[in-house]
Amino acid sequence: MRYGETGFNLEIDLSLGSIDRVETDPKLTELHLGGQGTADRILWDRVPAGVEPFSPENVLIFSSGLLVGTPVPGANRTVVNTFSSQTNLHAHSLLGGYFGAELKHAGYDKIVISGRSSELVYLWINNDKVEIRDASHLRGMGCQETAEQIKRDLKSEKIQVAAIGPAGENRVNMASIDHSHSSAARGVGSIMGDKRLKAIAIRGTKDLNIARPTELFEMCQNLRKSIAENPSVGDWMATDEDDSFHHNNFSWGNARVRRRDFWSKELEERWRNLKYKYMNRQTSCYNCSKVCHNVISFPGKPTFSYKCYGKDTYHMAAFQELDFSYEILGISQEYGLDSYSTPQVIAFALELYEAGILKDQDFPGMPVNVRERFFYLLEKIVRREGIGDILANGVSLAARQIGNGAEAYDHNTIKRFEQLPIKLGRLNPVYFLMLATGEKMAITQIEGSFPQDPLPTIEQRKEFVDGWVSVPNEKFKKYFMEWEKRDTISNEASCAICDWNEAMHYLDDATGICGFLSSFRGGQFGGRSAYHIHNMPPLISLSTGIKMDETLLWEVFQRNRTLVRALNVRRGMRRIDEKPPEDHWAIRDHDYEQKLLDDYYDFKGWNKDGIPTKETLDKLGLDYVSEDFLQKGILKDNEAASTEKEKEA
Amino acid sequence: MGVLTVNGGVKKRTVKEIKVNVDKCTGCRACELSCAAFHASPRYSSINPARARIRVLIYERTDLYVPVRATNYTPAECSGRQSYIIDKKEYSQCSFCGASCPSREHFKEPDSGLPLKCDMCEDEPPLSEPMCVQACTFGALTYEETLEEQGKEKEAKPEDLKIGLESLVNKYGPQKVTDAVTRMSLSRKG
């Protein structure tokens, strides 16, 4: 019997209309855990380097994290992986809510979707009964509207639905997949649209078996209570009204202008009143004792939910106030547009217009008022009409299509993907590494285990490290105690810290644990995360019966992270692609940055071009990757030998 | 209902109640998960909210989050289920019933289809609180025990009697009801 996971994937080929229930190999779970871990192995096996993201050969995978559906609180993430039409690289995306648990109770760990349907369809998974159904009546519908219609059609409110809106249908690169009060962004909605898959509806009523039930249940009951009481975890932005940090430090417009004195007590009071006037309630994801979703009903607009920085992006892009975000978010979410990247694309278009690169004829009938302009461009983008057809590709690709100097306005992307609009003075070496080499495409998906800034006094630092439960190794406490200035920290420490930050995110995305309880809260926000490298192994063992300890778990992270790198290397990603936005920091030192990158690659066991060496790959059990790389000439036969010689010299 | 105690000569019984504060429910469904785990055999060995005796009804767009328990207000299987058509729309009889009836589709064993019923997590030794209450960290579910005097019959209201009799007459016909009443009174006398 399989524990913690069902042991079956659902394989759907939309070109053939075929549906198969396939038993999976438990050894792969031991090597990669579940979620993104095992999904990436499928991408390696099934999607060769030459496959275009917009093609029937690309595969879209919905994976329930390994611990999702077990009693482990906050383990509710569904991970969506594919290859992104925006970056042409691996796409990493997450959904909260109830979808993953329902999938497991239907009897599946993953839904692996290949091919492309000729007509718009949706998938109806009702335990063993799985159907591809006509979705022509859902065409053009919003995400939540689609979910409601499907529940009406199937006559049950217990069904969980993940859907794309018109943005996904029209293959807009900023399209998301929405479910409940959660969205999966970063390149997956447009692929779902390309496959003509409008939605997936699930109802599951099967048991999920637990290996060592009593011990696990007791541990989880305690965790649920401690998470509820722990002020260091969850999304502060859902509950804290002081948002001076983002407004005073992040850049407004197209990641251009910092307004350092924007925040005031008067504004905070005004915005608090606005929020509580229109907030219905705060909600949780499945089996979590935090309330990270603020559900807002703004008059005349669709109800929406925001979490984290998503509430600020639209009004900061438009130089407006919170009420503008409330006005536009409901519509944008119904369209299935990601609220991180879309406002930046609109602000970019308006900048090009002001600079004379885009002309009046590019915006026929555009209103004068900036708020109305955002709505105008939202419509153009979601329908790919006129200039919207180009903007729908995202800032980086659009800048190259527009030309005529537009490239200079593409100053806040990495590997063609829009980043948070953080513009700072001095370089933070750890952040340089995370931004340059991170393959989850957004810093929020990598950072969190180590504080962003040193504390001013030794006493404060000591107090912090004394209660630092998440720290995997005493050396991190030493790094933090000795750290005085943000931009001054050894390369050795920078590499190790970057590695730890990555580790926890990769483990969360395999187990399905929410980053707000784990990776994103390991040190940056108090150091008392609910989950860390010390308590993940027993939770995995008790749930699944897999033998696990800290050393083995760290190896799983290295294996999963290296496999994602290998997927991208196979698609052509190299050192030249690994750079933060040019103006991310005002003061730069090219030689220092390159040395840092050298040291990081060396630390990871990668060659000078960022390609994992044969030795590294083989050690992690990824010898099928090294064989492939040698065969294709991506790695040379004598690579390991020459690296050793360099070290000796 | 629980244990009988004798206090100063007055018999009392413990009444267990789970109070629901709908405003505090966040839709986390930890109550469903915990209920199902507790009632699994062996205990906690499998998780399946479809087996839970509590269910959070969630309608996100209308902001409705209601934990509903499979209580004992009505018989396990309602024998009088019928459908009605009003203004061209079909309603089941259950739509008119305000009780949390265990025979409603929310509370059926997914394998057997048998009705599920909340047992307040009866166990030896008794739980300090039912599992769903223990799992609710938001205070949407709270457990209360009160002592009630035993033996006091509820006063029958004449209008209730009339409604009850009418429904029996409608179902079995006046003759059968009369026969039954006659039989009962004869047996009491005898």
How many Å lie between the alpha carbon of B188 and the closest alpha carbon of chain A?
Answer: 50
Across the interface, do B26 and A101 touch by the CB < 8 Å criterion? no
Beta-carbon contacts below 8 Å between A and B: 98
Across the interface, do A213 and B42 touch by the CB < 8 Å criterion? yes
* pLDDT tens column, A492-535: 999 999 999 999 999 999 999 999 999 999 998 888 999 999 99
Residue B108 has pLDDT above 90, yes or no: no
DSSP state for residue A582 in the 8-state scheme: T
Q: Which long-range contacts (CB under 8 A, 24 or more apart) does A48-51 make?
A: A49/A570, A49/A571, A49/A572, A51/A83
Across the interface, do A209 and B138 touch by the CB < 8 Å criterion? no
* pLDDT tens column, A568-580: 999 999 999 999 9
Kindly identify which residue of chain A lies nearest to residue B63, measuring between CA atoms: A280
Confidence of residue A587 (pLDDT cuts 50, 70, 90): very high
Position of tokens 């009964």?
A: A129
Task: For chain B, state the CA radius of gyration.
Answer: 21
* pLDDT tens column, A184-211: 999 999 999 999 999 999 999 999 999 9
Q: Strand pairing of A424-426 and A585-587? A: parallel
- Tell me the one-letter amino acid at A88: N
Nearest-angstrom CA–CA distance, A562 and A578: 16
Nearest-angstrom CA–CA distance, A47 and A191: 14
**Measured between beta carbons, which residues in chain B are less than 8 angstroms from residue A284?**
26-28
Number of Cβ within 10 Å of residue A23's Cβ equals: 10
Across the interface, do A282 and B26 touch by the CB < 8 Å criterion? yes
Residue B1 has pLDDT above 50, yes or no: no
3-state SS string for A511-546:
HCECHHHCHHHCCCCCCCCCCCCCCHHHHHHHHHCC
pLDDT at A649: 47
**Measured between beta carbons, which residues in chain A are less than 8 angstroms from residue B28?**
284-289
Beta-bridge mates of residue A125? A130, A202
Q: Which of B35, B111, B123, B137 to mutate to test the interface with A (most CBs of A within 10 A)?
A: B137
Across the interface, do B33 and A284 touch by the CB < 8 Å criterion? no
Across the interface, do A289 and B28 touch by the CB < 8 Å criterion? yes
* pLDDT tens column, A76-107: 999 999 999 999 999 999 999 999 999 999 99
Q: Strand pairing of A177-179 and A182-184? A: antiparallel
Nearest Cα to Cα of residue A57 among A196, A173, A195, A155: A195
Give CA A492 to chain center in angstroms: 27
Nearest-angstrom CA–CA distance, A162 and A157: 14
pLDDT at B93: 55
pLDDT at B115: 77
Give CA A475 to chain center in angstroms: 29
How many Å lie between the alpha carbon of B140 and the closest alpha carbon of chain A?
Answer: 12
Alpha-carbon distances, residue A150 vs A160, A634, B112 (angstroms) = 10, 47, 27
Residue B112 has pLDDT above 80, yes or no: yes
pLDDT at B184: 81
Across the interface, do A283 and B61 touch by the CB < 8 Å criterion? no
Nearest-angstrom CA–CA distance, A325 and A486: 33
Instruction: Please enumerate in sequence order all residues whose Cβ is within 8 A of that of A374, keeping only pairs 6 or more positions apart, or say none.
Output: A314, A317, A318, A324, A328, A343, A346
Count of residues for chain A?
Answer: 649
How many Å lie between the alpha carbon of B152 and the closest alpha carbon of chain A?
Answer: 41
Nearest-angstrom CA–CA distance, A375 and A289: 36
**Measured between beta carbons, which residues in chain A are less than 8 angstroms from residue B138?**
228, 289, 291
Confidence of residue B169 (pLDDT cuts 50, 70, 90): confident
Q: In A355-438, which ranges are continuous DSSP H helix?
A: 370-383, 387-391, 395-402, 429-437
* pLDDT tens column, A309-326: 889 999 999 999 999 999
Q: Which of A218, A221, A297, A305 to mutate to test the interface with B (most CBs of B within 10 A)?
A: A221
Q: Where are the beta strands (DSSP E) in A249-382?
A: 251-252, 257-258, 279-283, 293-296, 304-306
Name the least confident of A35-49, A268-282, B162-176: B162-176
Nearest-angstrom CA–CA distance, A551 and A568: 26
Q: Which of B22, B25, B28, B138 to mutate to test the interface with A (most CBs of A within 10 A)?
A: B28
How many Å lie between the alpha carbon of B60 and the closest alpha carbon of chain A?
Answer: 7
Across the interface, do B28 and A71 touch by the CB < 8 Å criterion? no
Q: Which stretches of chain A sit within 8 Å of chain B by CB?
A: 69-71, 73, 98, 101, 105, 144, 148, 157, 180-181, 204-210, 213-214, 216-217, 221, 224-225, 227-228, 280-289, 291, 295, 297, 303
* Average pLDDT taken over every residue of chain A: 96
CB-based burial of residue A458 (10 Å sphere; 0-12 exposed, 13-18 middle, 19+ buried)? Answer: exposed
Confidence of residue A22 (pLDDT cuts 50, 70, 90): very high
Among residues of chain A, what percentage have pLDDT more than 70? 98
* pLDDT tens column, B67-92: 888 865 444 455 555 555 555 565 55
Residue B161 has pLDDT above 80, yes or no: no
Does the pTM surpass 0.95? The reply is: no
Residue A624 has pLDDT above 90, yes or no: yes
- The ipTM estimated for the assembled molecules is 0.94
Among residues of chain A, what percentage have pLDDT more than 90? 95
Nearest-angstrom CA–CA distance, B165 and B178: 10
B112 in contact with A, Cβ within 8 Å: no
Across the interface, do A73 and B49 touch by the CB < 8 Å criterion? no
Nearest Cα to Cα of residue A625 among A554, A555, A570, A561: A570
How many Å lie between the alpha carbon of B24 and the closest alpha carbon of chain A?
Answer: 9
